[in-house]
A and B are shown apart, each in its own frame.
Chain A
Amino acid sequence: MTLGPTGNTLILLLDMLCPMHAVLGMSGRILHAGPTLAKLYENGDPIDRKFQDAFELRRPHTDGSMAALRALAGAKLHLRLCNPRQTEVKGMLVPLPDDGDGPLSGGAVLNLSFGIGLQEAVHDFALTGRDFAATDMTIEMLYLIEAKSVAMEASCNLNNRLQGAMIAAEEQAYTDTLTGLRNRRALDAVLTRLTESERDFALMNVDLDYFKAVNDRLGHAAGDRVLQAVARAMAAETRRADIIARIGGDEFVVVLPGVVDHHRVGETAQRLIKRLEHPIALQNETCHVSASIGAALSCDYRVPSGQRMMEDADRALYAAKEGGRGRHVIYAQETGISGPDRSGGHK
């Protein structure tokens, strides 16, 4: 089809300035496709196809007539190319004068660009810098995407390493190095977490009996080995979910999440004391310790506080020691101190 000298000049201009365009005739047929747009039709030249056979206009909705298309002048169009990849593009249509002069009369110019799918489209169609006008920002955009991806990847790697280091540091900061149990800091964090999330738990303050004698008689190194043996024994007598912390020389705290039953706390305490009274074999000595336990349960408080429960468990522990070694007492809210005969005298 000849477009006349004006038409040819127009198309020369469009091919250079916006190579991803189509020129439509009055009947809605494609008279010309810019060189970049033509590349996208791997299933054959779009020229001479009807608009509807080359494009699917997704938004705004129209009846597809040329009059309706011309009425969309200047609006943002969402289109899909009728090519094998069904490439999504953005478009803008400008009607050509309807002056009855030549084949372009009553037609339109449709200019297109890749939207957010730019990077994929450039790869899929093997487009090069020459497929875009020199003033087009596409190359800069692609550069920026790649440059930012490289920088982002480096940042993500750093974040992962820092996170790993942070977890290791926290683990270290929360661990008692001698026994491998949690330490005071970890215990505070656990109690805060439990009370803030309003979960019930029991807390046992465990104090070793006769430990000072071991230390005095056999020395600190032996004392350390006893503490390690005690830690292992406590871990063996508790559940996986329970938290055992060493908060002082021979002071331990066991937190039993989810426990609201005095009887069950009493049983656990007794079992623990019995286990800790097993003889502990050192290199060429055997030594004996025992333990006193004071406990408190969060369900006994209207608003449980970790600090308050630690104090009350301490009072109960004191009462247990008063009553003789190797005993346990559970703090009872109503009487202020150990409830009657809650001390499970075990010997």
Chain B
Amino acid sequence: MHGVINRAVERFVRDTYGRDVWLDIMRRLDLGFSEFEAMLSYDAQVTPRLLGAVADRLKKSRDEVLEDIGTYLVSHPNMAAVRRLLRFGGPTFQEFLHSLDDLPERTRLAIPELALPELTLVDHGADRFCLKVHNPEAVDVAFGYVVLGLLRALADDYGALVMLEHMGAAGHQETLGIHLLATAHGEGRIFTLGKAAP
């Protein structure tokens, strides 16, 4: 499993709950190190174990943790780069939804080794959509909940009003229900194509 996923879990815990909580989790896991390297690979079993340990420590369900991670990836200032890359998906939330099919391909352009779930958007008309999340077979992680949190935060980011629900899983496939109630409900956050020079 590519380290970038484990590293995202780590950053989520550290940025939200602090270093002590993170070190506590890593001590319990007893992996022999206390930090993940984004650009290294780890055994595929590490991620589900890590998520289990995080859920135990935070006294939340694993699904809740995954959803929180999705929200964190879009809304935390330390993850501004991720939010920007997602916002390249389109100028409106609706266009963004339609760009989700390309997301794994776009990710591979940046990090070829990173296997993310394939996403398929089904348009049911009347602003109702289904998003099928096909989790990679080798990985025991329900990415659908991460996507759920991601979409929730991105809807805010675009200023759209959206009803989202996790409609369950069948095998490696999860389904999310999306009801777009208003595209320009709130202010949203500004996104400019041009990035200020560092």
Give A residues with C-beta under 8 Å from B: 119-130, 139, 142-144, 146-148, 150-151, 154-155, 157-158, 161
Interface of A, secondary structure class, is helix
By the criterion CB–CB under 8 Å, are A124 and B194 in contact? Answer: yes
What are the residues of chain B within 8 A of A121 when measuring CB–CB? 194
Inter-chain contacts of A155 with B (CB < 8 A): 39
Q: CA A244 – CA B18 in complex, angstroms?
A: 47
Kindly provide the distance from the CB of A320 to the nearest chain B CB, expressed in whole angstroms: 50
Tell whether, in the assembled complex, residue A154 and residue B193 are in contact, meaning their CB atoms are under 8 Å apart.
no
Give, as a whole number of angstroms, the nearest-CB distance from B157 to chain A: 16
| Contact of B58 with A by CB under 8 A | no
B binding-site residues for A, Cβ under 8 Å = 4, 37-40, 81, 84-85, 88, 90-91, 106-107, 109-111, 192-197
List the B side residues contacting A120 at CB < 8 Å: 194, 197
B109 with A147: CB separation less than 8 A: yes
Q: Considering the chains assembled together, what is the distance between the CA atoms of A148 and B195 in angstroms?
A: 14
B194 with A126: CB separation less than 8 A: yes
A123–chain B nearest beta-carbon distance, Å: 3
15 extra interchain contacts, Cβ-Cβ under 8 A, other than A119-B194, A123-B192, A126-B192? A120-B197, A122-B193, A123-B193, A123-B196, A130-B91, A139-B88, A143-B88, A146-B85, A147-B106, A147-B110, A151-B110, A158-B37, A158-B38, A158-B39, A158-B40
Do A127 and B193 have beta carbons less than 8 Å apart?
yes
Q: Using CB atoms, name the residue of chain A closest to B107.
A: A147
> How far is A120 from B197 in the complex, measured between Cα atoms in Å?
8
Q: Which residue of A lies closest to B89 (CB)?
A: A143
Q: Which residues of A are found within 8 Å of B197, using beta-carbon distances?
A: 120, 123
C-alpha gap A158/B35 in the complex (Å): 12
Q: Is the CB of B193 within 8 A of A129?
A: yes
Task: Name the A residues within 8 Å of B193 (CB-CB).
Answer: 122-123, 127-129, 139, 142
Q: Given the complex of chains A and B, what is the CA–CA distance between A154 and B39 in angstroms?
A: 7
Listed by A's residue number, 9 A-B pairs whose Cβ atoms lie within 8 Å are A122-B194, A142-B88, A146-B84, A146-B88, A147-B85, A147-B110, A150-B85, A151-B39, A158-B37
Q: Which residues of A contact B85 (CB under 8 A)?
A: 143, 146-147, 150
Contact B194 A148 (CB under 8 A): no
Q: Are A150 and B81 in contact (CB under 8 A)?
A: yes
B194 A127 Cβ-Cβ under 8 A: yes
Docked Cα-Cα span, A130 to B196, in Å, equals 19
Residues of B within 8 A of A123 (CB): 192-197
A65: shortest Cβ distance to chain B, in Å? 37
The distance from the CB of B38 to the nearest CB of chain A, in whole angstroms, is 5
**What CA separation (Å) do A158 and B90 show in the bound complex?**
32
* Nearest CB on B from A116, distance (A): 15
Q: Max chain B CB contacts within 10 Å: which of A120, A124, A151, A161? A: A151
